[in-house]
Chain A
Amino acid sequence: MTSVNPQKYPEASAQALKDKPEVRNTVTNSTNLANKKRTAAYQEVDSDTWKDWGRDVKSHALTNLDQYLEQAETQLLANGAKVHWAETAQDAQKILENIVLDHNISSVVKAKSMLSEELGINEHLEKLGVLVRETDLGEYIIQILGDRPSHIVGPAMHLSLEDCQRLFHEKLGTPLDGKPEILAAAAREVLREEFLAADMGISGGNFLVAETGTVALIENEGNIRLSTSLPRVHVALVGIEKIVPRLEDVSGFVQLTSRAATGQPIGNFFSLIQGPKRDGDIDGPEEVHVILVDNGRTRLLADDKAWESLRCVRCGACMNICPVYRQTGGHPYGWTYPGPIGAIIAPGMLGLEEAMPLPYASSLCGACVDVCPVRIPITELLVHWREKAVEEGFTSAIESAGIRAYTKAAERPGIFRAVGAMLRHMPLDVIGRALPILSGWVKERSAPESSAKSFMQQWKEGIE
């Protein structure tokens, strides 16, 4: 999806809960399962040491990013790959368009890539008249449904088996009660033809190894290996933050990420792509293009605190554990990257005003911090963006006025006691109506009876 509208988050999430209440159950079940698997997988290893290591390698790479990007470029060129740099989504689209025209490309098979969602690649290719096919089963479901991914690892996580059965019945003619194996076999058959016919494969990149010029990709279906092996041209879209310094580093990161994402020791297929087919190779693409994408990443890197969020390996663990994400899935967030990680990278990449209510789409419970495999201080960064929002005047005037009024009252003991006494003797719904900031809150809630005496009075009289 290309339209970015996180501003609508409050309305969109309320609407989603109203229109599709079943999504909450489906997402809760799916994320609970993912949480269970991740927990078990991390219990098998010394997870604290793993996370420290992951944090430090990524921070090392990010604090030397210019050198490693240059090294990766040099290596890729030496491997025979072509390297492009894209500052914006439009740049990336244009680069891809040129490759499409140069090679007379009419059909593309795509491996799941969140970056391609972020850049609006499918829409752009379709405008050019290119047939674009998503081949990850989850992305395929999303594509034939005309929907958007709801989760960065399981794009169709918000759809139940029944949803899929209905969809496949309509589109592929499978029985309405067809078992998942039947549906998968039907998709395999359709997609196999498209794999064999495609001119170009497009992938993302989980990691880019500077030392060897390697694009590394984790998956379970084999569709990434097929997309990067069969068509004559392979284009990899890689965010500049995906750099890791050494080949040995990916051996750690593939395990760290796989365990965090799906609870596996390693994804069943792990591709390490250096460049195009060589003279002795029987098959493989004739050309490999790597597009290094900024699109807001250097802007995020410039933030003294939030740059740490660029360590993200996109495992999705933070959304799986998030009690807020669980209610609606990813759609209401209005951006490619939903959940806690999206809420902290959006303000840096899109600009705070554009991303605005997302830093508030959290209860700050900190569960995401506990599960992050690269120790991104997510709650600290949520608060960081909230502070900035206040500084830059993006919060509501009523809220600011309320906080200012509270500050004044709290600094003056006489007024503080008087207001306290007043509030104590007034029913909550009356207070709510009097204070617009509370009206929405009291509409749905009742409060216990206030104590007859204030804490200060009880203190003086001696609390038992």
Chain B
Amino acid sequence: MTARSSILDRVRIALANREVVAHPGSFKGWRPFIHSGTPTEQFTEMFEKAGGEVVSFKTQVEASLWARGFLADFNSFSVGELAQGRLNEGVEPDEWIEGIDPSVVEAGASLAFGAVAETGSLIMTPQDGRRAQLLPPVHMVFVDQAKIYETLSEGLVALKNEVLPGDNESGGLPSAVGLHSGPSKSADIGQVLVTGVHGPGRVVTVIVESD
């Protein structure tokens, strides 16, 4: 008798005479006061409330120009592979952004799969490397406005149905997904809020309104 079959047997015996409860259906958010703005406005409000920063640009070229300036203010930075493509939009491809270990830099840049208005979250996939998303004290993230989903369910289902190159080519979720909804924070020291405890203490979302 393996542990597996023992456990499953005990579960079945326990449930033998128990009435089965039906699944109530999808979670629908149920808010008495629906946010009056667009998903982008709601995302921005939620993300800023959680301590994050949001900037928005009409085109990727404008966003990239701004982002290059933003990163140039740091002594060192690391840029994920997908974010590199975005940073190089509209300019001659640069060499300065490759091959830097995210553990030693001041800032990291990545591209989010999308974002969620309901919770103010960025949906991060492993394509850009998880280290670039987590180790630098500052994290800058591009997201396309067209992929700001109203609810978390919609965002996750969209991700599950998306075919991502090099990861889940057969569809389904990538190996690991991180929802980032603001800077790293903790109130474990005397209940006082501090930011940047382990992950980035500063998170900047760069919304690209169209491409």
Q: When the two chains form their complex, are residues B27 and A188 in contact, meaning their CB atoms are under 8 A apart?
A: no
Main secondary structure of the interface of B (DSSP, over half): loop
Question: Complex: how many Å from CA A5 to CA B26?
Answer: 42
Q: When the two chains form their complex, are residues A268 and B180 in contact, meaning their CB atoms are under 8 A apart?
A: yes
Q: When the two chains form their complex, are residues A294 and B131 in contact, meaning their CB atoms are under 8 A apart?
A: no
Q: Does A71 contact B (CB under 8 A)?
A: no
Instruction: Tell me how far the C-beta of A303 lies from the nearest C-beta in chain B, rounded to whole angstroms.
Output: 8
Q: Does B192 contact A (CB under 8 A)?
A: yes
Q: When the two chains form their complex, are residues A221 and B199 in contact, meaning their CB atoms are under 8 A apart?
A: yes
Instruction: Tell me how far the C-beta of B13 lies from the nearest C-beta in chain A, rounded to whole angstroms.
Output: 7
Question: Complex: how many Å from CA A273 to CA B173?
Answer: 9
Q: Does B72 contact A (CB under 8 A)?
A: no
Q: Does B75 contact A (CB under 8 A)?
A: no
* Other-chain residue from A65, A80, A136, A196 in contact with B15 (beta carbon distance below 8 A): A65
Report A's interface with B, CB cutoff 8 A: 29-30, 33, 44-46, 49-50, 52-53, 56-57, 59-60, 62-66, 69-70, 79-80, 85-87, 91, 135-138, 141, 154-157, 159-164, 180-181, 183-185, 187-188, 191-192, 195-196, 212, 214, 220-223, 225-226, 228-230, 240, 245, 247-255, 264-284, 292, 294, 298-299, 301-302, 304, 307
Known: A66-B12, A141-B189. A225 touches B178 (CB 8 A): yes
Q: Does B202 contact A (CB under 8 A)?
A: no
* Chain B 11-39 interface mask (CB, 8 Å, partner A; 1/0): 11111001111111011011111000000
Q: When the two chains form their complex, are residues A298 and B20 in contact, meaning their CB atoms are under 8 A apart?
A: no
Q: When the two chains form their complex, are residues A136 and B21 in contact, meaning their CB atoms are under 8 A apart?
A: no
Known: A223-B197, A247-B156, A265-B46. A229 touches B176 (CB 8 A): yes
How many A-B pairs have beta carbons closer than 8 Å: the answer is 282
Q: When the two chains form their complex, are residues A79 and B22 in contact, meaning their CB atoms are under 8 A apart?
A: no
Question: Complex: how many Å from CA A280 to CA B12?
Answer: 40
Cβ contacts under 8 Å, B135 to chain A: 192, 226
Cβ contacts under 8 Å, B129 to chain A: 281-283
Known: A159-B190, A282-B81. A266 touches B130 (CB 8 A): no
Question: Complex: how many Å from CA A267 to CA B183?
Answer: 10
Q: When the two chains form their complex, are residues B197 and A184 in contact, meaning their CB atoms are under 8 A apart?
A: yes
Q: When the two chains form their complex, are residues B191 and A184 in contact, meaning their CB atoms are under 8 A apart?
A: no
Cβ contacts under 8 Å, A192 to chain B: 103, 135, 198
* Count class of interface residues, chain B: 35 or more
Q: When the two chains form their complex, are residues B168 and A278 in contact, meaning their CB atoms are under 8 A apart?
A: yes
Cβ contacts under 8 Å, A159 to chain B: 190
Question: Complex: how many Å from CA A91 to CA B2?
Answer: 11
Instruction: Tell me how far the C-beta of A224 lies from the nearest C-beta in chain B, rounded to whole angstroms.
Output: 9
Known: A226-B198, A274-B175, A284-B126. A49 touches B30 (CB 8 A): yes
Cβ contacts under 8 Å, A46 to chain B: 30-32
* Chain B 115-145 interface mask (CB, 8 Å, partner A; 1/0): 0001111000011111101110000000000
Q: When the two chains form their complex, are residues B27 and A30 in contact, meaning their CB atoms are under 8 A apart?
A: no
Q: When the two chains form their complex, are residues B198 and A281 in contact, meaning their CB atoms are under 8 A apart?
A: no
Q: When the two chains form their complex, are residues B18 and A63 in contact, meaning their CB atoms are under 8 A apart?
A: yes
Q: When the two chains form their complex, are residues A294 and B198 in contact, meaning their CB atoms are under 8 A apart?
A: no
Q: When the two chains form their complex, are residues B8 and A70 in contact, meaning their CB atoms are under 8 A apart?
A: yes
Q: When the two chains form their complex, are residues A136 and B188 in contact, meaning their CB atoms are under 8 A apart?
A: yes
Question: Complex: how many Å from CA A440 to CA B163?
Answer: 70
